[in-house]
Amino acid sequence: EGWVILTPFMFLGLWQRRWDRLVRPFWLYALGLHLAMTLVFPFPGYRGGLFHSAAALVPWWAALGIVGLHHSIDWVAQKRRRWNARVAKTFFSIGILALALTLTVFGILRQQAKPDGEPALMQELRTTLPADARIMANDPAAIYYYTGHGGVVLPNEAPEVILDIARVYNIDYLLIQFQTLDDGGRIAAIPEPLTTLLDTLPAFLSPIPLENADARLYAIDHSAP
C-alpha cells in the first residue's frame, strides 16, 4: 500500500492527522479491515480479500505519505539551518511521483511481456468438446474465458459427490489439470479428497484422450447408478 519507501511517512502523516474529522473514518476502516482479514478471514480468496479491500485506502495513504514527508523535512530543517525546506519538499515530492510512475510503467511492461495467445489446453478443449459442453474444473472461470464453456469448480468432497453435482448443474465433463513444480515434479491441481481419482475411477467417469499431457478429461455418465 505504500510502495515500501513511503510506508513510514504514511504512518507519520496519519499520526499527525489522527484526530482530523476527515481522516478519522479512514484510519478506523483501515484498522478494522486489517484486523478482520487477520483474525476473522485469515484465508482469503486467491484473487480477493485484503488486496482488493485495501485498494480503497491507497489514495488516502498517498496523501498522508506526502503529509508525513513534509513533516519530516520540516523537522530536519529545524536541526540543520542550511537545509532549505521548500526546495527539499519540492525535490522529494517529485521523487516520490517519479517512483510511482516508474513502478506503474514497470508493471505495465511486465504484463505486456507475458506470452499472448490461447493456451494449448484451451484450444484442444474447444476442438474436442461440443459447443454446449459444461465442465467441472479447478478454474472454470479461465475455461469460460478462453472457450466459452460454462461449468463449476471441483468440490472439496469425495469423488461420489461429482455425480450429484453434475446432475444438479448439468455438468458433462470433468477436467483434472496438473502443475509442474520447480524441481520438475508434477502434482494434480485438485482438492485432497479427489486425489483417489488419479488411481481409481468411479464407474460414472470415462476417460477422453487428450494430446496435452498436463490434463486429464473425463465424460460424466449421468445415468450411472
**Exposure of 20 in the CB half-sphere (CA atoms within 13 A):** 13
pLDDT digits (tens, 9 = 90+) for 116-168: 566 889 999 999 999 999 999 999 999 998 999 999 999 999 999 999 999 99
Q: Give the Cβ contact number of residue 154 at 10 Å.
A: 24
Secondary-structure percent of the chain, ordered helix, strand, coil, rounded to 5: 55, 10, 35
Reported as a single tens digit per residue, the pLDDT across 55-93 is: 888 888 888 988 999 999 999 888 888 888 889 999 988
pTM: 0.54
Interatomic CA distance for residues 150 and 125, integer angstroms = 12
The DSSP H or E segment spanning 177 is strand 173-180
